[in-house]
Structure 1
Amino acid sequence: MTTYEIKVKTGDRFGAGTDANVEIVLLDGSGKQTKPANLDNWFRNDFERNQLDVFKIKDDTDIPEVTEIKLKRDQAGLFSDWFVDKIEVLNQKSGVTSVFPILRWIRPDVDLYFGKYDTFLPQYDPRPEQRSAELQEKQKLYEYEEKFSGLPVQVKTVPEDENFSTDAKLDIAKRKYCLLAGKALELIFGSGSWKTLENLKGVYSKMFGYPKGMNDWKSDESFGWQRINSVNPNLICLCTEIPDKLGVTDEELKPFLEGMTISEAISKKRLFIIDLEILEGITCVEGHVCPVPIALFFENSKGQLMPVAIQLFQQKAPDNPVFLPSDPPNTWLIAKMWYNVADSNYHQAITHLGYTHLLMEGICVAANRCLSPSHPMFKLLAPHFLYIIAINDRALNFLVSPGGWIDKTMAVGSTGVLELAKEGARTWRMGLEGSYPEFLKSRGLYCKDGSILPTFYQRDDTLALYEAIFGYVSKYVNLYYDTSDKILNDVEIQTFGQELTKSKSEGGCGFEGVPFENGKFSSVDQLTAVFTSVIFSSSVVHAAANFPQYDAYGFPPSYPTKIKGVPPKNKNSLDEENLVQLLIDKSTTLDTMVITRILSERSTNALGDFEVNYTYDPAAVQIVEEFRKELKDISLKIHQRNEKLERKYEYLLPEEIPNSISI
């Protein structure tokens, strides 16, 4: 007679606990199996939500190492549904423990089999019929829908499993309380317009804190820092020529190029450009303007990026001057503010919403439709999809909806944001914008020795993290695909590629730049590129775009998302009163402060520390541990660098990067 100890962890999901009768059979894969045993502890309420239950059963059959279990439940009781996280089986005679990650709802009155570690490519799954039936059910839950014409596909209806957990809901409630407290400040500080900058600075308190850079926001150094180390470093490019539409001359720029001519600054890779032509024709909120600027920046002898020219609209004209650092101080400052209106609206629509939230939801839906929970590649990706569907559902309803936060606080409003996001999604390529080294190369900024923009710390940290993720994914993919035949014969991974690349009109995601050549994945390099892009975009890219928001936008004059009036059409001297008259009113300022503060808070686990553990295969667990160690090494290097800096870049410390897009 052998005694088996069975530990059952019920999941932490709404309705996860069960009153049903549960039966288990233990198997060894060669025909030996125990008799069916009911899992029940007398005088105890078993299988409650998020509860660990321990059972002991005895059986005449001795299975030294259990390699498979069979589970079955009935529909007894008021609540019979049951979601199981994992089951562990210990043979007390042999001392061997087998782990069975379940991570599923257990259907009633059906024999369900689970293998040790539950990690199989589909062609090696001993229960293909069960696997196929399960995927068919998931495909009913995860259907594509193009909710906004031209935008990436999303899930048609939010599956129950994608909703926030209880803990996450409590955290959101806490944030809402914070928001209400912010609205109370509106009563304290009154309504209407700001009278002075000092009047505005008086709003900040311990509740909000002072946004970084607030004190030196007027400086050119701060403005240049925003281009490379704030929310939107995706626009800066190495300048290789001055476009005809930008009306600058050597004589005008020479005082700001440390004595160089424009051609000399270009040849030395010290001149940079941002062209926001994509904003041309975008809808704006009635009564507001969003410029369509071109700007030049110069890397000075200290390695700092400094603005040297700003033209607020695309074409040269007498009423569209090129503003220079030598212009009257407040005139130059106001030109920078108008530039930032354009930059911030691009950031929210494309860098943030388009390139992370919307694109990654489509991939999340595809993975759930095509990859079994038993597929090792699903286990690789799943931690990085946590709450993305839930937060997108809430964000689009609250932030982007007509009359919502974006309409109130951004120049282009919700209509313009969706127009921009559509354009950004249309031009996004997984092999370019979704591959950070290639994205940098396309902008002339790929550099690991500091020879180009040595103070571009966001680039340096992002590259280190990209390479760590790439190495992690490469080792993981190679573990399961040691031959190309295993990839070619994996029907699930091939279907995944088909759905990613198939046009939206044909029922796919319509992604461009996916290395799915001749309608097939055929190499580990292709899979590594895809999975690296997904994990990198869901973690690092989103963190870089999201978490600096309060520091960027929390003090509106520094990085305005909307201002009053119209951009200056000449270089006449302006004073601080002219500047203050541009500022959004007190109510909109507080809305901006409250929401960006909430969006800048982290509420889920750091990269590599997964909320749900999908990986139990010992070889894969070792790869995860190596990834975590590399992240710690990166963190140490960032801390050591920051100790030497007066202005630190901390947003991409690995411990500050969530695994997924959950806010």
Structure 2
Amino acid sequence: MKMVNYEVTVFTGSLDHATTYNDVYIKLMGTDGESCRTQLRDYKGSSAFARGAVSSFTVPCPVSIGKLLLIELDKQRFSLFPEEDWFPDKVEIKSPEEVTYTVPIYRWITDSKVHRFREGTALRVFEDNHRLGRYSRDKELKRRKEEYRMIELKLEVLANCKKKWKDMHHLNRAFWHKTHMADYVQEHWKEDVFFGYQYLNGINPMLIRRCTALPSNFPVTDDMVFLHGQSRLEEEMKKGNIFLADYKILDGVKQNVINRKKQYLMAPLVLLHKTPQDQLMPVAIQLKQTPADDNPIFFPTDSEYDWLMAKIFVRSADFNIHELNVHLLRTHLLAEVFTVSLLRNVPMVHPLYKLLIHHTRYTLQINILARLLLISKTGVFTKYAASGGEGMITILRRSMSSMTYSSLCIPDDIAERGLEDVPNFHYRDDGLRLWDIISRFVQGVLGHYYKNDAEVKQDSELQKWISDIFVHGFLSKKSTGIPQSFTSVAELVKFVTMVIFTSSAQHAAVSSGQYDFDGWMPNAPTSLQCPPPTKKGTTNEATMLDTFPDVSTTVHGMAVVWLLSKQSTDFVPLGHYPKNHFTEETPCKLIKEFQERLEEFEANVKARNGSLGVPYTYLIPAEVENSVTL
């Protein structure tokens, strides 16, 4: 009988320890039949599956197996040799009919079991019609559901020198690592213009909003903020020049005890004014939510240290709300929900899996480390932040109620906060442009696979993905605005855009600059160990030094933000997909166009930054990682 031959090429990954010297076997399975299980041997011998190797083999079959559906791979240890892990990237199969199929793998094979991998063409569940395909799809998801389980967002309770800082010189000497921006912060942290700047282009651009009416618990009057009747609050609010930062989420939070000393965390209200010079300047600060005689409103016209102390308490509040709400909850934990739902509900052959898998890299690993090292009972944040311990759980629970769908979509969020035309708002400008670039890419890819709304509705795997996210990520609350199911292509595109933006650009915006802005402790104290002044005229430099966190707390805080700001050693920038899960021509072309748009955007940002006194770099695509990795 005349045999037909299939040319099989195996690409072993270039990761450390990707090599195996075990015997590797393959079986090809197609629409018209299958090959025998065949050992892959070539002239390279034991090095055929070495790290980075590309090795070709011949697999004979009695007859053509038709269109390739999937392959089976297994490896068996040779004689007394140990079993070794192996990381194959992909397998290419050329049929007797001269058709080349690509099978993406990109995973470790660590045992001697038989593993099935699908041919690379993306297939939605309702078009996976062959029994082998359906069986493989179901088996993969069953395994994934056992491996990946949701962790509820309510969370479980999540230098040894304890002396105060002697003076600012002593503090300066402890500022051991410098970056260009960290140096700038150290030099300008006391300035009102820099204090206001951070609400737009610091690491927490998510709190400020345009103020159209003063809160009833913030009794600021015209003569308090505008000397000599220069202007009126009502007029400035009508012009859109008054802004508010309200830390009410921190009100009444149980404050930590650090090194056996009670700590202090305020819930301030901050009023800011856009000047004719387009600078955002703080004009009033109230450190507690309830007006009272012992809760004075502070102004720039107060004594140097009264005003500076008020700003220090605000910056400490900002540190705590940024780390728990803006950074941990809204990027890390959300990205984890998106990832786990993807892995539990969407098989490797699905176009959504191929689109999103690169945006989930290392997310589960870094969140496990965060639970162990940062927010556990003995974690650094728990021990050295004012909100550590019980306060952390309170803040996270309150933050959940403000985590709406619109607040996660930057075009909607900017509009809701009334910030569309605020000058010098680089986070907004760069974020909106990146959102648009990502959205066009997602529209192209998903529009290629979903030609109409009906196809979206009938994709049960897609619907299970969003349902899991709604239930586990947003606690089944309709008020969040998160879709419970997808009813249209447009709805799907917007949600997937948000997922990619959150896991890449948004995380970069609120994470990459942590050491830049928080490394110099006076600009972002993790905690404060004296209460705020209850009347004016009682503060000086000694008061400030007494209030700052002690040496141990400061050093631990600096070390953590330094670690959290570091780029991962195998950093993959936004839009780069080294693992080719897509094999069809159209999505591969769309990826290339996506990369070209990102490069064009990057050139524009760098040109703009050249004219800025303080360049905004956190959303430069080459500096934005594809996923939440640190």
* TM-score for the superposition, normalised by structure 1: 0.85
User: Residue type matched to 2:446 in 1?
Assistant: V
TM-superposed CA distance for 1:461, in Å, is 1.0
Q: 1:568 aligns with which of 501, 508, 533?
A: 533
Within 2, Cα distance between the matches of 1:633 and 1:397?
A: 40
What is aligned with 1:623?
590
What is aligned with 2:122?
119
Q: 1:455 aligns with which of 424, 427, 450?
A: 424
Structure 1 residue 559 corresponds to structure 2 residue 524 = yes
What is aligned with 2:8?
6
TM-superposed CA distance for 1:147, in Å, is 7.0
Within 2, Cα distance between the matches of 1:409 and 1:422?
A: 20
Of 278-287 and 412-421, the range deviating more from structure 2 = 412-421
Inter-CA distance 5–586: structure 2 relative to 1 (3 Å threshold): same
TM-superposed CA distance for 1:515, in Å, is 6.8
What is aligned with 1:242?
214
Within 2, Cα distance between the matches of 1:424 and 1:374?
A: 36
User: Residue type matched to 1:388 in 2?
Assistant: T
Inter-CA distance 300–113: structure 2 relative to 1 (3 Å threshold): closer
For the 8 Å contact 2:431–2:619, the answer to whether it is kept is: yes
Q: 1:194 aligns with which of 152, 165, 178?
A: 165
User: Residue type matched to 1:620 in 2?
Assistant: P
CA distances 1:615-658 after superposition (whole Å, capped 9, x unpaired)? 22221111111111111122111111111111111111111111
What is aligned with 1:522?
487
Structure 1 residue 435 corresponds to structure 2 residue 409 = yes
Within 1, Cα distance between the matches of 2:115 and 2:206?
A: 52
Within 2, Cα distance between the matches of 1:212 and 1:48?
A: 51
What is aligned with 2:622?
655
Within 2, Cα distance between the matches of 1:103 and 1:384?
A: 14
Structure 1 residue 602 corresponds to structure 2 residue 606 = no
Within 2, Cα distance between the matches of 1:270 and 1:362?
A: 38
Within 2, Cα distance between the matches of 1:256 and 1:442?
A: 34
Structure 1 residue 131 corresponds to structure 2 residue 137 = yes
What is aligned with 1:158?
none
Q: 1:580 aligns with which of 545, 549, 557?
A: 545
Within 2, Cα distance between the matches of 1:340 and 1:512?
A: 34
Inter-CA distance 109–410: structure 2 relative to 1 (3 Å threshold): closer
For the 8 Å contact 2:373–2:379, the answer to whether it is kept is: yes
Within 1, Cα distance between the matches of 2:226 and 2:102?
A: 69
CA distances 1:565-605 after superposition (whole Å, capped 9, x unpaired)? 11011111532222222222222222122211111111121
What is aligned with 2:58?
57
SS in 2 for 1:569: coil
SS in 2 for 1:309: strand
What is aligned with 1:157?
none
Within 2, Cα distance between the matches of 1:204 and 1:560?
A: 13
What is aligned with 1:25?
28
For the 8 Å contact 2:519–2:562, the answer to whether it is kept is: yes
What is aligned with 1:424?
399
CA distances 1:125-179 after superposition (whole Å, capped 9, x unpaired)? 2311111111111111112232745999xxxxxxxxxxxxxxxxxxxxxxxxxxx
Structure 1 residue 334 corresponds to structure 2 residue 284 = no
TM-superposed CA distance for 1:440, in Å, is 1.4
TM-superposed CA distance for 1:467, in Å, is 1.3
TM-superposed CA distance for 1:497, in Å, is 2.4
How many positions carry a matched residue from both structures?
613
Inter-CA distance 360–21: structure 2 relative to 1 (3 Å threshold): closer
Structure 1 residue 276 corresponds to structure 2 residue 278 = no
For the 8 Å contact 2:315–2:525, the answer to whether it is kept is: yes
For the 8 Å contact 2:382–2:388, the answer to whether it is kept is: yes
CA distances 1:525-569 after superposition (whole Å, capped 9, x unpaired)? 111121111111111111111111111111111222212211011
For the 8 Å contact 2:123–2:349, the answer to whether it is kept is: yes
User: Residue type matched to 2:375 in 1?
Assistant: V
What is aligned with 1:84?
88
TM-superposed CA distance for 1:659, in Å, is 0.8
Within 2, Cα distance between the matches of 1:622 and 1:515?
A: 34
- Structure 2: gaps (5+ residues): none
Q: How does 1:176-195 map to 2 (within 5 A)?
A: 192-195=163-166
RMSD: 3.0
Within 2, Cα distance between the matches of 1:26 and 1:624?
A: 30
Q: How does 1:217-296 map to 2 (within 5 A)?
A: 217-255=189-227, 259-286=230-257, 287-296=262-271
User: Residue type matched to 1:120 in 2?
Assistant: L
Inter-CA distance 476–326: structure 2 relative to 1 (3 Å threshold): same
TM-superposed CA distance for 1:56, in Å, is 3.1
Within 2, Cα distance between the matches of 1:250 and 1:14?
A: 68
For the 8 Å contact 2:28–2:72, the answer to whether it is kept is: yes
What is aligned with 2:375?
400
CA distances 1:293-335 after superposition (whole Å, capped 9, x unpaired)? 1110011112111100000011111111110000001110111
SS in 2 for 1:79: coil
Q: Percent identity?
A: 28
TM-superposed CA distance for 1:71, in Å, is 2.7
